[in-house]
Structure 1
Amino acid sequence: MTRKVKRGTGRPRRQETDVAILDAALSIFLQAGFEGTSFEQVARRAGVSRATIYRRWASREEMIARALGRLKEESEEGAGARWEKMRLEELVEMMVEYGPKAWVDNDARRLLARVAGSVPDAPLLVQTFWEVYAAPRRAAFSAIVERARSERVLPANTDPELFQAMLGGAMMHKMLLEPGEKGEAELRAHLCAVLRQLGLGAVLDRLGR
């Protein structure tokens, strides 16, 4: 049975306090992983009381998931993302232009390692992030792929979920499993190569990639 994500109640939140807490939570999570991230440490770094955090989030998993979601939202906002309205060519252009820079700037390799390492010990963290942030974006991505399939930009038998799994898996392999630091240019070249393998060569050619 899917566990529902709890929402905090209480006094109205101050936006700057939320930001300070989530920034502190993300920073500590990147440094120390899930087990090394506590309300007490986050409160100390954010300059708030533990009670202030408890009023907002019922668990560390929910707090860290919200911090990860905020990072994702900021990256998409900077790229002018409006997923539900995008055509495939627009999405590809956004991914190629902004994705590699965001991955480098946000230390995506360490972030992926921390999230992957949380799977056995913090399933609620992964579930919360998936339900609140990943699933809606995957649904929007699938709708874009389905439109592209109906317009014959992609083959008629393209499976939107498998398409995303192959794309995401190839990028995770590059960033997480291959040794050595990865720069923006290398990640962009790899992303374009993967997209070509997925049948988007003509789209990349039109974009001059």
Structure 2
Amino acid sequence: MTGPQPRRGRPRDASRDRALLDATLAVLTESGYGALTTAAVAARAGVSTATLYRRWPSKEVMVVDAAAAYAKGLTAQTDTGTLEGDLRALLRDKAASLTGNEGGVLRTLIGEAAYSPSLAEALANAFMVPVRQRVEEMAQRAVDRGEIPPVEHADLLGDMVIGPMMSRFFLTPLPPSQVDAATAAETADRILPFLLRAFGHESHGTVTSEK
């Protein structure tokens, strides 16, 4: 009986894959999905088109993977010990991801998702689902600490975090001075008291502000 056969070829380089996906997002943001080509991505990354096709069979699959990798990095878990602290961290996190260079990439991806069901699904799974899960978890921690009563339809709370942010930064025309990091954080803090009430949190006095 012979032993296991050795694997052929070199293992995939995760850092190279991420560099290729970053190049995909850069070209996508500059040119849009319709004008994006594997040749343009390969040139931006400094590789051959054959290198791309060894990893992804089509540009759609490549863009879907790029969107998933990008969105995955936008949701970091934070446990501050209080509902107010958790929500503030999440809101500021989302405000940062919807403004600046990150916001430009996400805006492009959302626009292209209207024409690509697979891209829309990838964005939902990598961007919306983790936010909903994160919000449900922070709500449950707040319930366990006795900060709030049990929340009915907790699965909707994540949409109440994303919705105001999308409306403010994507749907409202704003001058450049109102989309920088400091103003984004300030906007997040202004939304915070409304979300706390939606969670059933009874604030004693004003919500504290952290610089």
TM-score bracket for the superposition, by shorter chain length: 0.7 to 0.9
Q: Using a 3 Å threshold, how does the CA distance of structure 1 residues 86 and 67 change in structure 2: closer, same or farther?
A: farther
Alpha-carbon distance in structure 1 between the residues aligned to 2:100 and 2:105: 11
CA displacement 1:35-70 (0-9 Å, x = unmatched): 222222111211112221122223333322332333
Which of 174, 188, 193 is the aligned partner of 1:196? 193
More displaced 10-residue stretch of structure 1: 18-27 or 196-205:
196-205
Report the 3-state secondary structure (helix = DSSP H, G, I; strand = E; otherwise coil) of the residue aligned with 1:198: helix
Residue in structure 2 matched with residue 28 of structure 1 by the alignment = 27
Which of 179, 204, 207 is the aligned partner of 1:205? 207
C-alpha contact 1:66 1:129 (8 A) present in aligned 2: no
Residue in structure 1 matched with residue 87 of structure 2 by the alignment = 92
Residue in structure 1 matched with residue 117 of structure 2 by the alignment = 123
TM-score by length of 2: 0.73
**How far does residue 29 in structure 1 lie from its aligned partner after superposition?**
1.4
Alpha-carbon distance in structure 2 between the residues aligned to 1:186 and 1:158: 32
* Equivalence map 1:73-152=2 (5 Å): 73-75=72-74, 81-82=76-77, 88-95=83-90, 98-108=93-103, 110-132=104-126, 134-152=128-146
Alpha-carbon distance in structure 1 between the residues aligned to 2:86 and 2:60: 30
The percent identity for this pair of structures is 26
Alpha-carbon distance in structure 2 between the residues aligned to 1:169 and 1:133: 13
Aligned length: 194
More displaced 10-residue stretch of structure 1: 44-53 or 192-201:
192-201
C-alpha contact 1:26 1:64 (8 A) present in aligned 2: yes
C-alpha contact 1:22 1:67 (8 A) present in aligned 2: yes
Alpha-carbon distance in structure 2 between the residues aligned to 1:183 and 1:129: 24
Report the 3-state secondary structure (helix = DSSP H, G, I; strand = E; otherwise coil) of the residue aligned with 1:146: helix
* Equivalence map 1:35-74=2 (5 Å): 35-74=34-73
Matched, 1:170 2:164: yes
Please provide the CA RMSD for this pair.
Answer: 3.1
Residue in structure 1 matched with residue 4 of structure 2 by the alignment = none
C-alpha contact 2:25 2:63 (8 A) present in aligned 1: yes
Unaligned runs of 5+ in 1: 1-9
Alpha-carbon distance in structure 1 between the residues aligned to 2:145 and 2:96: 30
Report the 3-state secondary structure (helix = DSSP H, G, I; strand = E; otherwise coil) of the residue aligned with 2:196: coil
Amino acid paired to 2:111 = G
Q: Which has the larger radius of gyration?
A: 2
Alpha-carbon distance in structure 1 between the residues aligned to 2:18 and 2:117: 24
Alpha-carbon distance in structure 1 between the residues aligned to 2:127 and 2:91: 21
Unaligned runs of 5+ in 2: 1-8
